[in-house]
Amino acid sequence: MIAYKALYLDNREVREQADKALSKNIITQEESDRIYGAYPYNLYTPNLFIRVGLFLLTVLALLCCLGLCMLASAGNDRSMGSLFIFFGLLSYGALELFIHVRGICRAGIDDALLWVAGLMIAIGVNILADHIGPLMQSTMVLVLALIGFVRYADRLMAVVAFAALLCLIFYRLGESGIGRALLPFAVMGVSVALYLLFTRLSVLSRLRFYHSGLIVLRVAALLSFYAAGNYYVVREANTFTTHQQGQIALGFLWWTLTGLVPVLYIVRGIHKKDLVFLWTGLGLVAGAVFTVRYYYHILPAELAMIIGGCILIAGAWSLIRWLHEPKFGLTSADLDNPAILEGLPVEGMILAESFRPVAGGVDKGVHFGGGTSGGGGAGGGY
Amino acid sequence: MNIPLFKRLHAEGLISGKALEQAEAHEGHRLFSLFRELRLLLYLGVLLLTGGLGIVVYKNIDTIGHQAILAFIALITSGSFYYCLRKKNGFSWEKVEAPNSFFDYILLLGCLSLLIFLGYWQYQYDIFGDNYRLATFIPMVILFASAYYFDHLGVLSLAVTNLAAWAGLSITPLTLIKENSFADPRLIFTGILLGSVLLASGRLSAQRRIKAHFETTYTNFGLHLFFVASLAGLFIYDTVFLLWFAVLAVIAFFMCVQGIRRRSFYFVLMIVLYTYIGLCYTVLRLLWKGLQGDTIAPGLLWLGLSAFGVAVLLIRLNRKIHSHDSL
């Protein structure tokens, strides 16, 4: 299913784990070197800067190729459309070739080829067909993005596919009156179902290469669940589909969801120690505040800013102080920075805890590839 | 930590039993850190509060009066610097760690409010008169002194941008191209000169071990300034553009060699891309001249092929450096 060589992707995961362990002084440099020797990685994966550079250069080269082909073609719609589609297919071919022959992986070149290929096909279809409705459009994007995600594990493609799916539901239900009334509930239902599905899938070791993509998808599902119940979104969507301004039914329900969902996300995030919930909730608090302020100007902006700022500073400051010594397994200390750890009672506590029977450690191991425990680094990166 | 993986590595004899135990202990008793979340909230709160206060002051400036505001800003500035002077970890030409996690922010607050203070003062009371050079020179000196004395990279960046402002240039990332009119030859040469000075400062810092970790900041500013000014020169002096490009290419080559020696791929990448822009301009100009205007097809062909070539070059250079994935 995945285009990149599975063995190397696995080996890279091993190496990353070794790096992490080395940085925390769990293994020695020698052990790390031995692991690197035993788990070779022969794909070309440069750092971010080179990836961006190669991406830009590849896009430039592809566009120039396309420009040359366009100069040579007849110039009417039919030939242009076919040219775009042909060029898109060619890009997919080149992508496969680069991956299998040159062994590139997340090197900018493959990203550029994948995105150009998808875009070219989409543009080509639009030129060829006189008019395709939003339903067909969404379906096409969904299919192209799914290819990008399933075959090349591209995280951004996963997000595009999810958005396309939402568009599909939106336009399909927006066609009829009863559909319009059910639209928010349908989107919420789909979001919950997909969230559960993504969570289940992300613990399967067979799908381990899609793990980070599935985390992104979980965030997307949480966001779409919130959006489906947000007063502003519901109202605007209603205006968009019915072309009628004005009040919407069940206003109380939407306001409750607008305010409550972010809080519930945060509470669940802290309770379950789930970074996905926590960060999505924190982000959505801002969304809720803006929604309220869009309709009700309770306070002048500067006063609201001052009061909000004071509350935030006081709250965050006292929480930092309060959690200085860990409570309920929570701490305000930076655990990824061992230098800071030294000065804190945390270390003593961990040391003391370490002499407990190891059963706890083995138990946690079930989380192989799971979202919460290993996600110390994963959650923040997006 | 992935415990099944570590068990496997242990079974394969790659890691010792002690390492496995440590990994298990680490994973079993891992705390859930809210470090970043709480810092983010604190930061947001400061942002909101200062923003709100700013608006209040702006709206009520008639009733509050300039002197009261100036006094308030001066209070913040002196308070911050007083805190930093009391808490600092002593001075050294090497890297000095901050005494606590708030120190850096408070120093930054002090420096920023100092800049606001001087700017406000100049704007309202013309303390430096028409001598704008002096108005940027004094904060520059204070900023450089603070950056070296308290060891703060952010303040150093502020100081460097102030140095450029003193020389008449605007060099923050977003304004480097937008706000400088590089049609002015004086600005081009100032840019090239200042860029070279910054690059030299970077090298000196590293060689003499005078705050060696400041080198990246100097080199970064210097590199971008130097190349943007040089490319502007290339575009403007169209009678001697071949000579201009030749000189640029030679300098770029030597800088590239330096970058490779230092295993800094970020700099090598930037040098290659900037030089590539110059090369494309030169070749397209030559094509335009040689073919009397009919340059679309050969131009596209050249761009496509050269982009491919540069991509291959980058990969080669990357393999050559083979550095760990860092700057």
Verify whether the Cβ–Cβ distance B30 to A305 is below 8 Å: no
Q: How many residues does chain B have?
A: 327
A229 vs chain B: nearest CA distance in angstroms? 25
Digit-coded pLDDT (tens) for B225-272: 899 888 888 888 877 888 888 888 888 888 888 888 877 788 888 899
Residue of A373, A39, A378 whose CA lies nearest to B23: A373
Mean pLDDT across B21-40: 72
Q: Give residues 69 to 98 of B whose Cβ lies within 8 Å of A.
A: none
Which ipTM did the prediction report? 0.77
State whether residue A371 is helix, strand or coil.
coil
Partner residue facing A306 (CB), from B34, B53, B59? B53
Q: Do A333 and B308 touch (CB under 8 A)?
A: no
Residue B326 forms contact with A (CB below 8 Å): yes
Q: Specify the pLDDT at position A79.
A: 85
Cross-chain residue pair B3–A361, CB shorter than 8 Å:
yes
| Contact B293/A at CB under 8 A | no
B36: nearest CB among A38, A304, A380: A380
Residue B311 touches partner A, C-beta closer than 8 Å: yes
SS (H, E, C) chain B: CCHHHHHHHHHCCCCCHHHHHHHHHHHHCCCEECHHHHHHHHHHHHHHHHHHHHHHHHHCHHHHCHHHHHHHHHHHHHHHHHHHHHHCCCCCCCCCCCCCCCHHHHHHHHHHHHHHHHHHHHHHHCCCCCCHHHHHHHHHHHHHHHHHHHCCHHHHHHHHHHHHHHCCCCCCCCCCCCCCCCCCHHHHHHHHHHHHHHHHHHHHHHHHCCCHHHHHHHHHHHHHHHHHHHHHHHHHCCCCHHHHHHHHHHHHHHHHHHHHHCCCHHHHHHHHHHHHHHHHHHHHHHHHHHHCCCCHHHHHHHHHHHHHHHHHHHHHHHHHHCCCCCC
pLDDT of B171 = 62
- The predicted structure's pLDDT at residue B106: 83
Render pLDDT for B275-307 as a digit per residue (tens, 0 to 9). 999 999 888 888 888 877 677 888 888 888 999
For residue A282, what is the nearest residue in chain B, using CA coordinates? B37
- DSSP string of A188-212, one letter each residue: HHHHHHHHHHHHHHHT-GGGGGGHH
Number of domains in chain B: 1
Q: Report yes or no on B246 lying in a domain.
A: no
Which tops the pLDDT comparison, A304 or B129?
A304
Give CA separation, A97 vs A189, A210, B310, in Å.
41, 22, 19
| Cβ–Cβ gap B3/A44 under 8 Å | no
In-domain check, residue B219: no
Q: Is residue B105 part of a domain?
A: yes
Chain B residues lying within 8 Å of A69, measured CB to CB = none
What value, to the nearest 5°, has the Cα angle with vertex A37 and ends B311 and B2? Answer: 95
Q: B227, B274 in Cβ contact below 8 A?
A: yes
Q: Provide the residue range defining the domain that includes B144.
A: 64-159
Q: Is the residue at B40 inside a domain?
A: no
Q: List pLDDT tens digits, range B64-119.
A: 777 888 888 889 889 988 988 888 877 777 777 777 767 877 888 888 888 888 88
pLDDT at A371: 34
Per-residue model confidence as pLDDT tens for chain A (382 residues): 788 888 888 888 888 887 887 777 777 777 778 788 878 888 888 888 888 889 999 999 999 988 888 888 767 778 888 899 999 999 999 999 988 888 888 888 999 999 999 999 999 998 888 778 888 899 999 999 999 999 998 889 999 999 999 999 988 888 887 888 888 889 999 999 999 999 898 888 888 888 888 999 999 999 999 998 888 888 888 888 777 776 777 778 888 888 888 889 988 888 877 888 888 888 888 888 888 878 877 777 777 787 888 888 888 777 777 777 776 767 766 666 544 444 444 443 443 343 333 333 333 333 333 333 333 333 333 3
In a domain, B81, yes or no: yes
Which of B7, B12, B32 to mutate: most A Cβ within 10 Å? B32
Q: Which residues of A touch B35 (CB under 8 A)?
A: 331-335
Pick from B7, B8, B12, B14 the residue to mutate for testing the A interface (most A CBs within 10 Å): B14
Selecting from A302, A304, A361 the residue whose C-beta is nearest the C-beta of B28 gives: A361
B313 inside domain: no
**Closest to A333 (Cβ–Cβ): which among B7, B27, B33?**
B33
- Flag whether pLDDT at B4 surpasses 80: no
> A203, A201, A255: which is closest to A233 by C-alpha?
A255
For residue A185, what are the CA distances in angstroms to A169, A171, B147, B187, B321?
A: 11, 15, 56, 61, 55
Q: What are phi and psi of B324, to 5 degrees?
A: -70, 155
- Contacts of A218-221 with CB under 8 Å at 24 or more apart are A218/A276, A218/A371, A219/A276, A219/A279, A219/A280, A219/A382, A220/A158, A220/A159, A220/A162, A220/A163, A221/A162, A221/A191, A221/A192, A221/A194, A221/A195
Residue of B nearest to A62 (CA): B304
pTM of the full predicted structure? 0.78
Residue of B nearest to A48 (CA): B325
- B-chain residues within 8 Å CB-CB of A19? none
Q: How far is B279 from chain A (nearest CA, A)?
A: 14
Q: Are B204 and B183 in contact (CB under 8 A)?
A: no
The residues that bridge with A331 in the sheet, in sequence order, are B33
Task: Report yes or no on B144 lying in a domain.
Answer: yes
pLDDT of residue B176: 64
Residue B194 lies in a domain: no
B65 touches chain A (CB under 8 A): no
